[in-house]
Amino acid sequence: MSESGSMDRRGFLHAGVAATAAGLAAGVVRAQDAAGDAKPGEGKPVLPRRMLGKTGVEVTLLNQGTVGEPAALDRLLRFAYREGVRYFDTAESYRNAETVFKAWFEAQPEVRKTIFLATKHHVNRPEEMLDKVDKRLERLGTDYIDLLFFHGLSTNQKDWPKSKEMKDAIEAIKKTGKVKFVGFSTHDPSIAEQLQNAAKGGFIDVIMLRFSPWLEKDSALNKALDACHKANIGLVSMKQIAGQALKITQARVPSLQEKNLTPAQGLLHAIWTDERFSASCVTMRNQDQTRENADAARRFEPLKLSELNELRDALLAAGPTMCPNCDGRCAVAAGTKAKLGDLARFYTYHEDHGIRSHARECYLELAAEERDWLGADLAAAREACHNKLDFAKILPEVDRLLG
């Protein structure tokens, strides 16, 4: 199936499954290996872990995100810890989330060494990042960062991951001894090129990206993921497909019902079935979500292709609103400069992820022409999209809620 053409649902093929499902359990370090690590807080055993690319560090499959700084974040972080999460993610732009970590480390200094902590900062030139390190350390209340991301590489930064400038910047950052690993996060339509460049450059440790477990096998992004995996770059999924999709009932997917997995748990199992990914970052906003997702990690077994297909069909039938990312073919098909995928993503943040202020901030950061979808052929956009997002329904709501 060509990447540029519209496609039938049946054309989707999960890339990693056929080759790897049988051997995947071996890639996961089971919880009991680290059961003694549950203190402080006398929590549950550490969740199953996977090696994060070339870092040599095993991280928990589940990563507590902090985008939008959920209410009572201090309690949520501690609860995630007690549920066995040891990988935490934040960013300079997530309001005061970094300082919540600082308060946690002040109250329980012993926690810091037992977690893998990632943060992010957006810069306009690679060499600017070095100057941001001390500020991040101060805000986080730590003397080292496990993983520092260049936050949200854009299209005009797509060559950075193979550039001398970024390589030099990363070397200088690591030389300080204050940052162990460096990578980038991305939402950009040039994502496949960015990933291929990272595989060529050889100096990126980890990439965090939106991901759908139902990528076309021959798509540019799927090939780029293969290249990164081969180059031993750690891959972390984020902003998992959501929206209406997660409102499907368990009964709609018999294989989930048999395993007593909720749709959200099934989705995490679908992502973890792809052995290229080490972890999923999820901003769990209440204790029920954390409990549910931690339970999914504890009970993870790779899904069979038939189970993946059943889940995919149910999700698509439910009408997802979250753009799982690709090359932006929806906008091309619609003949618009509006960022249709981003608009749908911000709608999902607002309506389903409960991060309304963050959704509005993201929306306002777009240029006027990137928000202006009027005149776009929305039927063509829907047809072109992997996930058949219903733009004709979603975009008027974007204007009403975020405009």
In terms of Cβ atoms closer than 10 Å to its own Cβ (0-12, 13-18, 19+), residue 250 is middle
Q: How far apart are CA 183 and CA 145, in angstroms?
A: 12
| Binding to ligand SF4, residues 339-358 (CB under 6 A) | 340-341, 344
The reply on whether position 362 binds ligand SF4 by CB under 6 A is no
Stretch in the footprint of ligand SF4 (CB under 6 A) among 132-140, 257-265, 289-297, 379-387: 379-387
What is the Cα 338 distance to its own chain's centre?
A: 23
Stretch in the footprint of ligand SF4 (CB under 6 A) among 34-42, 165-173, 236-244, 318-326: 318-326
Q: What are phi and psi of 84, to 5 degrees?
A: 100, 5
Q: Which of 326, 355, 359, 378 binds ligand SF4 (CB under 6 A)?
A: 326
Task: List all residues 6 or more positions away from 367 whose beta carbon is below 8 Å from its beta carbon.
Answer: none
Q: How far apart are CA 282 and CA 385, in angstroms?
A: 24
Q: Which of 170, 241, 330, 402 binds ligand SF4 (CB under 6 A)?
A: 330
Q: Are 227 and 199 a contacting pair, CB within 8 Å?
A: yes
The reply on whether position 389 binds ligand SF4 by CB under 6 A is yes
Q: Which of 136, 162, 312, 386 binds ligand SF4 (CB under 6 A)?
A: 386
The answer to whether the peptide bond before residue 40 is cis (omega within 30 degrees of 0) is yes
Beta carbon nearer to ligand SF4, 245 or 296: 245
Beta carbon nearer to ligand SF4, 243 or 263: 243
Beta carbon nearer to ligand SF4, 343 or 355: 343
Single-letter amino acid code for the residue at 66:
T
Beta carbon nearer to ligand SF4, 234 or 328: 328
Q: Are 194 and 221 a contacting pair, CB within 8 Å?
A: no
Report the interhelical angle of 191-201 vs 220-230 (nearest 10°): 20
Q: Which of 31, 323, 334, 376 binds ligand SF4 (CB under 6 A)?
A: 323
User: Least separation, in Å, of the C-beta of 288 and ligand SF4?
Assistant: 29
Structure token pair of residue 205: 């440790």
Closest alpha carbon to 259 in 310, 221, 223: 310
User: Least separation, in Å, of the C-beta of 332 and ligand SF4?
Assistant: 9
Q: How far apart are CA 30 and CA 211, in angstroms?
A: 24
Closest alpha carbon to 326 in 215, 161, 199: 215
The reply on whether position 243 binds ligand SF4 by CB under 6 A is no
Beta carbon nearer to ligand SF4, 281 or 323: 323
Q: Which of 28, 384, 398, 402 binds ligand SF4 (CB under 6 A)?
A: 384
Beta carbon nearer to ligand SF4, 192 or 282: 192
Q: How many CA atoms within 13 Å lie on the side-chain side of 85?
A: 30
Beta carbon nearer to ligand SF4, 223 or 329: 329
Q: Which of 86, 136, 158, 329 binds ligand SF4 (CB under 6 A)?
A: 329
Please give the residue ranges that form the binding site for ligand SF4 (CB under 6 A). 323-326, 328-330, 340-341, 344, 384-387, 389
